[in-house]
Structure 1
Amino acid sequence: MARFHIVIPAAGIGNRMETAIPKQYLPLSGKPMISYSIQTFFASPRIASINLALSPEDYFWRNLDLDANSRLQLHYTGGETRAQTVLNTLLALQSQIAEDDWILVHDAARPGLSLSLLNTLLDSLEHDAVGGLLALPLADTLKQSDADARVKNTIPREGLWQAQTPQMFRYSLLKRALESFDGSPTDEAQAVEALGLEPKLVVGSLRNMKITYPQDMALMEVLIQKEIA
C-alpha cells in the first residue's frame, strides 16, 4: 500500500518580508511559522514521514536531537531554486521511499493548513492516476498592466485557479517531472504538466494562504487568535 510523505522546502530567505531571519521562522502567535504545518502533519496518522529541506547554512534546527523513529527528518538539501531543493530531497529519500509512494510538497510559509483540508486532499487524490494540488477558483477580476502600471487588458477569470499546497504526486512521477523540466518550474504541478499530464484541482481554503508580505502575517495572526479565543 502506497504511503504518504511530506516534503517542506524551507531553504528560502523570504526577501519580500524584509526581515533578518527566514520568514518560515518568524514568530506567529508565539511559535515559529513553520511549526503550524508541521503540527498538522504530525496530527495525521496517515503521514509516514515529514521531511524538511533546509539550506546548508540553516542553524535553526542544528541542536534538535531527533529520535531514530521520529517521523520528522532534516535534510540539508537546499538548492538555488525551490524545484532543485525538492529534487535534491527526493534523491536523498530514494532508498527510503517506494516508487509509487505519494509525495506531498508543502510551502514552509503556509501555516494555515488544517487537518480536515489535508484529509480532503488525501481522500481526493489517493486513487488518482496523476495526482494534483489544493487550489482556489479566482474570485477577483484580473488586470494585466503595462510598464507604467496602466491596465493593458482584462483577463477573464473563468477557469482560473490560484494554486496552493500541498501538491501531491507519486514519487517516481514527480522525480521524473523535475529532472526533465526545461528551466525552473514555479511549482511541482507545472513540472508534471510539462509531461503532458493534467493534475487534479482540489478546492483549498482561504486560511491556507501563503505568507508573502507583512500584511499577510498580520491577517494570519488575527485568524489564529480568533480560533484560540
Structure 2
Amino acid sequence: QYLAIADEPMIVHTLKRLASYHKVSAIVVVIAQEDERWPSIKLPLRCPLYTVIGGETRADSVMNGLAYIQQKVSDDPWVLVHDAARPCIRMSDIESLFQRCYDSDVGGILGAPVVDTIKKVTTQHTIAKTVDRAEVWRALTPQMFRLEMLRAALLQAQQSNYGITDEASAIEAMGYQPLMIQGHADNIKVTVPDDLLIAEAILQQQRQCR
C-alpha cells in the first residue's frame, strides 16, 4: 500500500478518493502492528482520519476497525470497507453504492460482470466444465453494510471457522443476500508490480476525463 503511483504512495491516492466523497464522515485506517511507514504519511483530508491496529486476518482487522467506530458513535451507521490497494475507485461508483444501499435492509457491494470465458478445472488442471459467465461477477470494494450487522456476521464467521474472503461472504453466511451494484472494471486491486503501471495509467485517464 506504500508503493508509489505517480510519486505518491498508493494508499494516499485511495484515501483522497474516499475522503472527497461528501457523505463519508470519517475514515479508519487499519494497519499492521509493525507498520513503520504510516506515521510518516501526512495527509490533510476533508474528514477525520483515525488509525487502528489490525489482526491476523482480514476479518480480524475489519472487526478491530468496527469496534473502534462503535466506540465513537451512538447509533448504527453505515460503514464502507475498502481495500487500500484499490486507488482507482470512482466517485460515481461510491455514489451508486450509497444510493442503492442506503434504503436497503442488508447493504451491498460494488462488482463488475465477468467478460472472459470462465472454466472450472479439476485438481489435475483439466477443464471440468465451462461456467455460465452471465451468473458470475467480480466482487470489488467498497462494500457497504450496517455496522452491527457486519460485526455480527464477522463474529459468526470467526466462531464457526468459516473462511471468508470479503465482508459480503460473511453476510451471505448469515442467510442474507447483499445487493450487487455494478461498478467500473477499472477499479482494480494492485497485487503485483505490473499493476502499478496499469493503475497509474487509469488514474491519468480518469483525470483527463473529468
Structure 1 length-normalised TM:
0.82
Equivalent residue of 2:139, what SS? strand
- Is contact 1:29-1:224 (8 Å) kept? no
Could you tell me which runs of 5 or more consecutive residues in structure 1 were left unpaired when the two chains were aligned.
1-23
CA distance change for structure 1 residues 228 and 160 in 2, over 3 Å: closer, same or farther?
Answer: closer
Select which of 171, 174, 180 maps to 1:201: 180
Could you tell me which runs of 5 or more consecutive residues in structure 2 were left unpaired when the two chains were aligned.
none
Equivalent residue, structure 1, for 2:140? 164
More helix by share: 2
- Is contact 2:59-2:164 (8 Å) kept? yes
The Cα of 1:89 is off from its aligned counterpart by: 1.5
Q: Number of residue pairs matched?
A: 204
Deviations 1:75-130 (Å, cap 9, x if unpaired)?
12x11110110011211222112442001000110010011211111111111110
Distance 2:74 2:111 in 1: 27
2:19 counterpart of 1:54 = no
Moved beyond 4 Å, runs of 4+: 63-67
The Cα of 1:65 is off from its aligned counterpart by: 7.2
2:169 counterpart of 1:213 = no
2:85 counterpart of 1:106 = no
The Cα of 1:28 is off from its aligned counterpart by: 0.6
- Superposition pairs for residues 89-128 of structure 1, below 5 Å? 89-128=65-104
Select which of 117, 125, 149 maps to 1:173: 149
- Is contact 2:108-2:168 (8 Å) kept? yes
- Superposition pairs for residues 25-36 of structure 1, below 5 Å? 25-36=2-13
Structure 2 length-normalised TM:
0.89
Identity rate of aligned residues, in percent? 35
Deviations 1:4-59 (Å, cap 9, x if unpaired)?
xxxxxxxxxxxxxxxxxxxx110011111111121012212211110000111011
Q: In angstroms, what is the RMSD of aligned CA positions?
A: 2.0
- Is contact 1:49-1:71 (8 Å) kept? yes
- Is contact 2:86-2:187 (8 Å) kept? yes
